Structure 1
């Protein structure tokens, strides 16, 4: 816990504990480097430039883990399944997504407990997004 969180009587957020915005920007940037070269996943992103998708995921994860609410302020409720419904997400796409995200998580070199917490969430989210066989 930081001194500020102790003095306010609030537990430190995961977002703050792992380094805040720079950590989440690094995570998502590294993830999209993999997606850009992946022949299965890249076609799922209709925008020529992956930058907007990268920004949306960054803002979502920042908000989810206790940072600023910019994602909801700009886009409303996340509604993740609805937003991904137009895209065919099967087990193979999920596994490729998890592969690239796993590499990105490892690159952060987080404390093992924080890495495990982040990875558990990402695995659950990836399985939740599957919408095709």
Structure 2
């Protein structure tokens, strides 16, 4: 009769220690769950907005939602999954194929505002996050 393996991790495979993000903005606002909520609500807005939706060639927005979530989590001190899977973010370069007009920026910010509001952050955290999002949105405008 063979030896039964204990339930749990595969033998010989080290399980990574959970990362401590408590000293980062990412950890301070609730980590993955908070950012996932913000980005999910944002993508609901993208799906409902013809101007924004047209910028996403994929029929399924799930992969785009995942990429954005990985990026934003990494930016704010969370897991570095984006870098590991996709390399340097190069935001401006990745957006060059799309005509990001001031109108598109405003629609993007409106959808993102709903996501940020859904997270119910403290005033300081909300202001910090929103400042970054506004600056990022303005920097990606590449068409009149």
TM-score w.r.t. the length of structure 1 is 0.91
What pairs with 1:5-20 in structure 2 (closer than 5 Å)?
Answer: 12-20=23-31
Could you say which residue in structure 1 is the equivalent of 2:110? 99
Within the candidate set 63, 82, 98, 1:52 is matched to: 63
- List structure 1 runs of 4+ shifted beyond 3 angstroms: none
Distance in 2 (CA, whole Å) between partners of 1:62 and 1:49 is 21
Q: Deviations over 1:37-91 (max 9, x none)?
A: 1011100000000001000000000000000100000000000000010011000
CA distance in 1, matches of 2:102, 2:137: 9
Match for residue 81 of structure 1? 92
Structure label with greater radius of gyration: 2
Give the aligned length.
Answer: 125
Q: What CA deviation, in whole Å up to 9, does each residue of 1:7-66 have, x standing for no partner? A: xxx981000000001111110000000100101110000000000100000000000000
> Counterpart of 1:61?
72
For normalisation by structure 2, the TM-score amounts to 0.84
Unaligned stretches of 5+ residues in structure 1: none
- Aligned residue number for residue 119 of structure 1: 130
Q: Does the CA-based 8 Å contact 2:37-2:119 persist in structure 1? A: yes
Name the SS of the counterpart of 2:57 in structure 1: coil
Shift in Å, 1:119: 0.2
Alignment pair present for 1:32 and 2:43:
yes
Identify unmatched segments of 5+ residues in structure 2: 1-19
